[in-house]
Structure 1
Amino acid sequence: MAWKGNSNTGAYDSDLPAPTFDLETWAGNYEGALLPLRLAHVSTHCPSLARQSLSIAAAAAKKGKDVQLYSRLHDIASRLGFGDLAAIDLDWATKQEEANKRELARLEGELRGYKNNLIRESIRMGQEDLAVHLLLTGGPPPDPANPQSINSAGYNAAYQAFGKMRDYCTTPTHVASMTLRLIYTSLLQAVSAQQTGASPVLFLNATLANANRIRTVGVKEEEMAKLTPIMHAMTGIANLGQGAYKDAAISFLATPHEYATNGPVHGTDFTRAVASGNDIAIYGGLCALATMSRDELVDHVLGGTFRTFLELEPHMRKAISLYTTAKYQACLDTLRHYYSDWSLDVFLGANTGITACSHVDKLLARIREKSITAYFSSFSEVSLASLASTFPPTSSSPYAMENEILSMIQSGMLDARIDVVNGVLIAPQKETRSATHAQAKAAAEEVERTLLLRLHKVNVSLAGLEVPKPKGTYGEGVRVGNGGY
C-alpha cells in the first residue's frame, strides 16, 4: 500500500497501481501554473502515466509564459528516460524569454512613471500588473553566483511584488484582492518548493497568515460571502500540508458549499486554480475520518453542511458511513481502492518531510489505527490471527500484525497487552468490585459529613450561640436606605 516516488531523482521505488480516473479528463478540471505542477507530481509518482502526464504538462506550459517551468518539465522527462519529451523547443523558449524581458521592462518603466506622478491608484494598478507578470512568467531565475538571490527569484518575486501593493490599497476590496493573490502565490511557492526538495513550511505559514487576514478586511457582507469559502478551504489545505490534520478537518468542514459554485473571485477561480469541490470533499473526509470520533462524524460530517461536498464523492461518503456503522474492514477496503488516486494529488501525495511517507499514507495509517482500537473495544481478548484476518497487514512479514499492535500499545493508542505465547491481545481487566466498594465508601463519607454539619447547627441553636438576624431587613415593611421599602 505504501509506494514512494522520488521527485528529485526521477527514480521509482516501486510501482503504484494505475488510478481510477482518466488523466486527460482529470487535468481538464484545473488551470493556471498549478496544473503543470500537478502533472509533474503524477509523472514522478506513477510510471504508467509518466509519459502522458509530461506530454500534457509540457503542452500546458507552452500555452503560458513560464520558460523555467517548461524547462523543469523537460528535465524530469530526461531523468525518467523519455528522450523524445526531453527535447526542448529552443525557438519557442528563446522568443518567449525575450518577450517576457521586454514586457517586464515596459511594466517597470510604467510603474516608475506612476510613482513619479504620485497617483496612488495608478501605482497600485501598476504594481499589480508587474506582480501578475512575474507570477505568469515564474519570476527571474536565481543567480548561481549569489545564493541570497533565491529570496527574490521565482515565485518569491511575485509574492513580494503583490505584497508591495499594500501601501497603495485605498478600499477594503483592494485589500481583499491583494490578499487572495498572496494566498494563491504562497501555495504555488509551497508546491514548487516541495517538488524541488525544499521545505514548504514557510510558505504554508504565509498562506495561513493571509487567509486569517481575510476575516478583517472589512468588505461588504455580499463580498465577504464569496471570500469566506476560499478562506476556509485554503486554511484547510495549508493545515493539511503542515500535518495538522485535526485543524485541517475543522477548516474543511466549515467551508460553505458555495465554494464549488462561486466561480472567479477577484480574477482567480480557486476551484480550478487550486482545489475543486471534489478535492475539498476528499481532503475534508480523510482528515475528519482520521481525527474525529464516531459521534462527530455522524453529527458534523454526514449530518452537517459538509454533506453537500460529499455528494460529489460518493465513495468518500460511503467510507465514512461504513466506519460509523462499525464495518471497519469494508471502510478500509474502500479507502485502499482509491489510494492511487489520492497519492497522485499534489497536496495529499506530498512528502511529509519527517518520514518517507505522504500525507495520504499518514491519514490512512491513522484511520487504520482508529479502526483497530474501535474494533477491539468490544472484546476482552482477541487473537492476533483474527485481527490479521479482519485488518490484513500491509507487510508480508509473519510478525507484521504483532509489531503493529505493539507499536500502537507503546504509543498509547491502544490500552491492552499481548500474550505472545498464545498469540492473544488482552484488554486490561477492570476491577468492578473494588470500584463499587470505593464509590460506596465515598458516598457513606459524604452522608456522614452532611449529618455532622446538621448536628453542629442544632447544638449551636440549643446553646444560644446562633447569631440573630438583624431587624429592618427586606420583607418586614421597614424602610431601608433612601426611599426604599
Structure 2
Amino acid sequence: MDTDEDTSALNVDEIYANGGNDDNRTDHRQIISADQLDIEAYINFYSGRTRISRLLFIANHCGDNLTMQLEALRMAFDEIKKGEDTILMREVVNKINGRLGSDYTLDNSWCGAIEKKTELKKDKLDSELTSYRTNLIKESIRMGYSDFGDFYYGHGQLGEAFKNYVRTRDYCTTSKHIVHMCMSAILVSIEMGQFSHISSYVSKAEQAVEPLDTIATAKLRCAAGLSNLSAKKYKLAARKFIETSPELGSRYNEVISSQDVAMYGGLCALATFDRAELKA
C-alpha cells in the first residue's frame, strides 16, 4: 500500500471507537441568548441528520428558555419520525419527558415496526453482499458495502457506516466511485466530530483522475474548511471557505448552509488576514 492509501485508511477502528453522540462531548453551557430564536427559519437551511443534531444542540444550549427548548425538541421529534433511528427517538422522548403531551411520547408500535423492518432489510443486504462476494462481482460488492453504509448511517450507527463506506475503496474502478467513497467518509466523519481525518479524504478526492465538477469541488472546500476550523487553523479555514463556489447553494445542506460558509469564512478572514489580504 502506498503512502496515499496509508493516509486514507486512517485507522478505521480508531475512528469507529471515537464516534458517538454529541452529548458525550459537548459542554452544555448556555450560548443562546434569552431572546427568542426563530428556530423554524434557522433550521430550514439544513437537511438530513444535521437538521436533527442542530435542533438538539439548540435544546441543550438555550439555558432557561423553556419555550425554545421544547420547540426545538418538538421539531427534532417530528424530524426523527420521518426516518428509522429508533435509538435517537428514545433519547429525544427522554429529553421531552412528557412535557409536550401524548403526541410526543414513545410510540412503541412505531419503534417495533421500524425495528422489524430494519432486521429484514439488514438480512437482505447481508445475503446480497455474501452472494456478490462469492461470485466476485466487483461493482456489486462496492454497491453492497455502500448500501450497508447508507443503512447504518440512516440508523445512527455512524462507526459501522464509516467502516462500510471505506470498504468500498478496494472495489472502486472509476474516479467517480473514489469521489463517492471520499464524500461518504467525509460526511460521517463530520457527524462523528472526527475532523482531523477529513483532510486525507479531501486530498484523495481531489487527486481523482477525472476533473471534479464545480459542486463536488465546493463540497470538498467546505469539508477542508471545517477540518481547518476544528484544528484552529483559522487562516487556512478562511481560504477554503472563500474558495467555495457560490454555485454550491443549498446542495450541501446535509452538512453546512451557504450562510454558514459566508459567516465562517468572513469571521476567520477578519481574525487572520492583514489589510492587503482583506482588500483583495
TM-score normalised to structure 2 length: 0.83
Aligned counterparts, 1:106-145, within 5 A: 106-138=124-156
> Which residue in 2 is equivalent to 1:452?
none
Instruction: Find the counterpart in structure 2 of residue 207 from structure 1.
Output: 198
Give the drift of 1:18. 4.6
Match of 1:35 in 2: 51
**What's the secondary structure of 1:243's corresponding residue?**
coil
- The residue that corresponds to 2:279 in the other structure is 298
- Deviation string 1:7-61 (CA, Å, 9 cap, x unpaired) is 5699975684256752112222211111110100000111341100110011001
What's the CA shift for 1:161?
0.2
- The one-letter amino acid paired with 1:290 is A
Contact in 1 for aligned 2:74/2:100 (Cα 8 Å): no
Stretches of 4+ aligned residues off by more than 3 angstroms? 6-16, 18-21, 81-86
Q: Which amino acid aligns with 2:209?
A: G
1:239/1:20 CA distance change after superposition, 3 Å: farther
Match of 2:162 in 1: 159
- Size of the alignment, in residue pairs? 255
Superposed, 1:45-444 pairs within 5 Å as 45-46=61-62, 47=65, 48-78=67-97, 82=99, 84=101, 87-138=105-156, 154-190=157-193, 203-219=194-210, 221=211, 223-260=212-249, 269-270=251-252, 272-299=253-280
Asked whether the 8 Å contact 1:158–1:185 carries over to 2, the reply is yes
Partner-residue secondary structure (3-state), 1:273? coil
Contact 2:30 2:61 in 1 (8 A): no
Separation in 2 of the partners of 1:132 and 1:284? 31
1:44–1:50 Cα contact (<8 Å) kept: yes
User: Is contact 2:93-2:105 (8 Å) kept?
Assistant: yes
What is the CA deviation profile of residues 400-438 of structure 1, one whole-angstrom value per residue up to 9, with x for unaligned ones? xxxxxxxxxxxxxxxxxxxxxxxxxxxxxxxxxxxxxxx
Give, in whole Å, the separation in 2 of the partners of 1:14 and 1:30: 22
CA drift of 1:247 comes to 1.8
Q: TM-score, normalised by structure 1?
A: 0.49
Q: Which residue of 2 aligns with 1:341?
A: none
Larger fraction in helix: 2
Bigger RCO of structures 1 and 2 (CA < 8 A, at least 6 apart): 2
Q: What residue is the counterpart of 1:465 in the other structure? A: none
Tell me if structure 2 keeps the 8 A contact 1:7–1:45: no
Distance 2:25 2:180 in 1: 38
Secondary structure of 1:274's partner?
coil
CA separation of 1:172/1:243 partners in 2, compared to 1, >3 Å: closer, same or farther? Answer: same
Over 3 Å counting, the alpha-carbon distance change for 1:208 and 1:137 in structure 2 is: same
Aligned-pair identity (%): 29
Q: CA deviation at 1:273?
A: 0.6
**Structure 2: where are the runs of 5+ without partners?**
1-21
1:161-211 alpha-carbon deviations (Å, 9 max, x no partner): 000001111111111111111111111111xxxxxxxxxxxx111222211
Question: How far has the Cα of 1:294 moved from its partner?
Answer: 2.4
Structure 1 residue 242, shift from structure 2 partner: 2.6
Which string of whole-angstrom CA distances, capped at 9 and with x for unpartnered residues, describes residues 114-149 of structure 1?
A: 1111111111111111111111111xxxxxxxxxxx
